[in-house]
Structure 1
Amino acid sequence: MLDPENSLSTRSFIARPTTGTGYSGIHVQLDGVPSHHLPLLLAAYQYKFGRDVEAMSRHLIDDVAVGWDELGTDLLDGAPPSLVAALTGGEQWPSRTLDRLITPDGSPPRRMSVTDETADGQDMQWGYILHTEGIEVISLLHEDIGPVVDWATDPRTAFNDHPAAWSSLDPAPVTRASRSTPPPGAPAASPAKAHAPRPATRR
């Protein structure tokens, strides 16, 4: 279950793929672990954005002036109440951007873009790449690429937050949702799979 009361500064980014194995995206300051981001992103794709990954990318990446402070339950708009309750326990909190960030010299904050060339220097811990087939989860403490979680995966699935568990050579470390049937209107859950076309790069 998502827990807004225990927000942690776990830096991550959400990005779209670019040429080759590259990506370009935006910084997210809080709660960057898979157990927080993946349920929100999967549900947002399946319901709020009507399975339109480009519309989702525009909202999460292109339309953000500076960066995200945190992702909130507004991403669950349109999802069945039973799914929202299962993910949040009835709690609600909005997504918040960093538009009001105050810089040391008082100048306007700059957009906090993240790419495959800058992620290391920005001390990113997790990356979420929005591919057409699913979300590539990168544990940047260990690799530059990662396994892909299929868009059809049930958002109630339990996701492992241990950085070493997300190897590009193995299927994503997930535990099936406890319920045997997916929420109304959602496609049947598919197993997460390794991102086979991309060679592993160990850090």
Structure 2
Amino acid sequence: MSYYPSVIARPNSAGFAGRTVHTAGPPEYVIGLLTWLYHGPFGRDLDAMQRFLINEHPGGWSQLGDDPTADTGWNNDKQFGRDGFVCYCHGDRHKTLAPFTQDSDATFVDWLYVISADGIDVSQADWGDSEDFNDDTPPAWRHLGRVGWDDDAARIKTIVRSVTSPA
């Protein structure tokens, strides 16, 4: 079973910078969740959403959730089966990592979601013909499309279908 390891990032002058999410879920889930978080708990405040997902959690995420006000910390006594956000930098863990960028080793990352004022740019790691995923060469990111914050379900389905269709 795939855990869909991903990166949630913001654009910058060099490309992007963000945090990894170990168990993000399939793209249709992540796109829906990010859109809901933007409209719901963050009240269309993109800066607050980016701060929460990227700046305030430098260890990255074990999993995402739907309530940013709930305790996000790692609990050694209950690592699995928790609902909601679980980070690697609060609670029983205090991990700090450099931001994940376009130059980072993406060996175990499948998806990239860059969140900006325009919406969510969805990309998939493309290793080309490489058979050696451990050579520290970052993948090319195959851009699948952008979902606007106010796009309807049909637009989201178009992006998600491109995920499952050959390039």
After TM superposition, the score normalised by the length of structure 1 is 0.58
1:64 aligns with 2:40: no
Shift of 1:51: 1.1
Shift of 1:76: 10
Return 5+ residue gaps in structure 1 as ranges.
Answer: 1-6, 78-91, 102-107, 168-203
* Equivalent position SS for 2:95: coil
* Equivalent position SS for 1:9: coil
The separation in 1 between residues aligned to 2:44 and 2:97, in whole angstroms, is 27
Aligned in 2, Cα 1:94/1:112: closer, same or farther, shift over 3 Å? farther
Return 5+ residue gaps in structure 2 as ranges.
Answer: 71-81, 128-139
Q: Aligned letter for 1:71?
A: L
The separation in 2 between residues aligned to 1:155 and 1:119, in whole angstroms, is 33
Shift of 1:40: 0.7
Aligned in 2, Cα 1:31/1:155: closer, same or farther, shift over 3 Å? farther
Aligned structure 1 segments of 4 or more residues deviating by more than 6 angstroms: none
Shift of 1:162: 6.5
Shift of 1:116: 0.6
Kindly indicate which of the two structures has a greater share of residues assigned to strand.
2
1:97 aligns with 2:83: no
Shift of 1:155: 6.4
| Residue number in structure 2 paired with 1:148 | 146
After TM superposition, the score normalised by the length of structure 2 is 0.69
The separation in 2 between residues aligned to 1:74 and 1:34, in whole angstroms, is 19
Kept in 1: contact 2:115–2:121 (CA 8 A): yes
Residues 41-60 of structure 1 correspond to what in structure 2 (within 5 A)?
41-60=34-53
Q: Aligned letter for 2:47?
A: E
Aligned in 2, Cα 1:109/1:55: closer, same or farther, shift over 3 Å? closer
Shift of 1:57: 0.3
Deviation string, structure 1 residues 85-132 (Cα, Å, up to 9, x no partner): xxxxxxx9211112345xxxxxx6332631011153x43100000111
Residues 85-164 of structure 1 correspond to what in structure 2 (within 5 A)?
93-99=83-89, 100=92, 109-111=95-97, 113-120=99-106, 122-141=107-126, 143-146=140-143, 147-154=145-152, 158=157, 160=160, 163=163
2:13 to 9, 12, 19: 19
Question: Identity across aligned pairs (percent)?
Answer: 26
The separation in 2 between residues aligned to 1:46 and 1:33, in whole angstroms, is 20
